[in-house]
């Protein structure tokens, strides 16, 4: 009986947890949607929030260090740096943050740095970019033609709709 109650308690906790996560997920989507219309304001709000978050983390670590004892030892800077280094290395965040994913991936793929690329490789890449730009312009032209066709069709549908409405009105008189 107690096992069943414990299971129900866990189920209720999980449902509550999911509701909270769902609420904040939808809330974030709405806020981002509104702020994305004002990118400069969005940047200031985000920047200030990030700085204040890390300021809070920093001061919390200072407070915990000032407590002394095991917390003082854990948050003593050299010890703390070693603990954090192990955590960052274990999670893979150390390398990706300090080197960057792009540099890391190019190294794994065996790609050359821009300074090591030959003039021929650069010209080939420029040619490929130009070809892609031509293709994009062609697709933009086709898209405009499609939009024009849709606009014409909409006008025709509106005319047909008007004719049908007129015929219906004459039959109802």
Give 16-27 pLDDT, tens digit per residue.
Answer: 888 999 898 899
Give DSSP secondary structure letters for 55-95: HHHHHHHHHHHHT-HHHHHHTSHHHHHHHHHHHHHHHTHHH
More confidently predicted of 53 and 92: 53
Give 37-58 pLDDT, tens digit per residue.
Answer: 888 999 999 999 999 999 999 9
The verdict on pTM exceeding 0.75 is no
Domain residue spans of the chain: 10-70, 76-111, 119-173
Report d(CA 148, CA 66) in Å as an integer: 70
């Amino acid at each position: 009986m107690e096992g069943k109650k414990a299971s129900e308690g866990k189920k209720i906790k999980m449902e509550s947890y999911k509701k909270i996560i769902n609420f904040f997920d939808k809330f974030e989507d709405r806020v981002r949607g509104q702020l994305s219309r004002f990118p400069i304001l969005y940047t200031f709000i985000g920047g200030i929030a990030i700085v204040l978050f890390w300021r809070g983390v920093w001061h919390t670590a200072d407070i915990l260090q000032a407590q002394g004892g095991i917390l003082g030892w854990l948050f003593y800077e050299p010890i703390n740096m070693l603990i954090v280094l192990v955590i960052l290395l274990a999670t893979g965040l150390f390398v990706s943050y300090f080197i960057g994913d792009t540099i890391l991936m190019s190294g794994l793929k065996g790609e050359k740095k821009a300074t090591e690329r030959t003039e021929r490789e650069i010209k080939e890449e420029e040619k490929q970019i130009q070809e892609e730009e031509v293709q994009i312009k062609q697709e933009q032209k086709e898209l405009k033609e499609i939009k024009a066709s849709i606009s014409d069709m909409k006008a025709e549908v509106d005319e047909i709709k008007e004719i049908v409405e007129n015929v219906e009105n004459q039959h109802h008189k």
